[in-house]
Chains A and B, each alone.
Chain A
Amino acid sequence: MTHAHTHAHSGAEPAMDAGRIRGAILIYAVGLVLAGGLTAASFIAPVSGLIWAPALPVALVVFAIAQMGVHLVFFLHITTGPDNVNNALALAFGVLIVLLIMAGSLWIMGHLNHNMPPMPQLMQMQR
């Protein structure tokens, strides 16, 4: 069995050459700059006064989701390429479940809290 066959059989890719190394480092560097910028924006936005205070939570969530996207694309390399279709579909399903758990919990518990009698009245009812 030749060397090339061993590699093909075990699924290992050949070592990267200098050009591909530079390209890969560049991708991580771009990701670091974008993620660092979004992190800085998240921490600075509340103290800068540039954002209308009631809109602050929305702005923070937008920064966070953007940064998660940067991490997924530049660090985890979840792309829409042909070797990534399964990964992207699994991610979509995971996001669906996360949204159901978060929104469902907040919705149900919020209603429960709203419909709960105040504590003294509750104690009275239990007596």
Chain B
Amino acid sequence: MSAGGEAVFDAAEAGPGLGLRDRAGYGHGESGPASKRVIVGYGFWIFLLSDIVMFSAFFAAYAVLVGQTAGGPSGAQLFDLREVGAETACLLLSSFACGMASIAADARRFWPFQIAMAATFMLGAGFLGLELHEFAGLVARGDGPQRSAFLSAFFTLVGCHGLHITAGLMWLLTMMAQILAKGFRADILRRMLCFSLFWHALDIIWVAIFTVVYLMGAYT
């Protein structure tokens, strides 16, 4: 395989059947163009990073406004860390179950995939239920988003993450249905790759939320 760069490029341009397309391409070197899976993953990763940049703006707003309680309660008086711990456990285990589902999808194993996805859904729904319970409790005590700038920023940041989780749960059900109806087709597997990236990225954002909002709010 010591062909010159130009010869490799021509062979790759000629399409499948010349051997080069059968090897995993990385998009540079002598291995030919990147595979569609690598390109789709890269594109979705760019989207996720832009989503993380959007969250960083909400984090910045929260950090600026965290002291502006307008005489109302601060985080230390509001946050129930046992509930936050349970939410964190749900989301971390959900992320792990999602990893198991993506392995099962790559191995083309139908039932392990569906069971792991169902576990991912249940844990994600458990997280969402706990979060809605917390929000309902705050609003019922009059500590809703209209109470102070601090609570506006809190509900915006944490609520935006909750909305992402809600969208992710609907995407998850769609993936289960698509694997059921269409099987482990290459395009469906790429969608599954994107979903697992999305779900893991939401867990990364939650790590920032439980650290910056809840733990720092409760103890400092």
CA gap between A42 and B106 in the complex, in Å:
34
Q: Please state if B16 and A9 are interface contacts (CB–CB under 8 Å).
A: yes
Q: How far is the CB of A85 from chain B (nearest CB, A)?
A: 8
Residues of chain B from 160 to 189 with CB closer than 8 A to chain A in the complex: 184, 186-187, 189
Is B88 at the interface (CB under 8 A from chain A)? yes
Q: Mark B150-164, 1 if CB is under 8 A from A, else 0.
A: 000000000000000
Q: Please state if B37 and A106 are interface contacts (CB–CB under 8 Å).
A: no
Q: Please state if B34 and A83 are interface contacts (CB–CB under 8 Å).
A: yes
For residue B50, which residues in chain A have a CB less than 8 angstroms away from its CB? Answer: 94
B57 interface neighbour in A21, A46, A101, Cβ under 8 Å:
A101
Residues of chain B from 48 to 90 with CB closer than 8 A to chain A in the complex: 49-50, 52-53, 56-57, 59-61, 63-64, 81, 85, 88-89
13 of the cross-chain contacts (CB-CB < 8 Å) are A7-B186, A15-B108, A16-B103, A16-B106, A16-B107, A28-B103, A39-B88, A39-B210, A46-B215, A75-B99, A76-B200, A101-B53, A101-B56
Residues of A within 8 A of B (CB): 4-5, 7-13, 15-16, 21, 24-25, 28, 31-32, 35-36, 39, 42-43, 46, 56-57, 60-61, 63-64, 67-68, 71-72, 75-76, 78, 82-83, 85-87, 90-91, 93-94, 97-98, 101-102, 104-106, 109
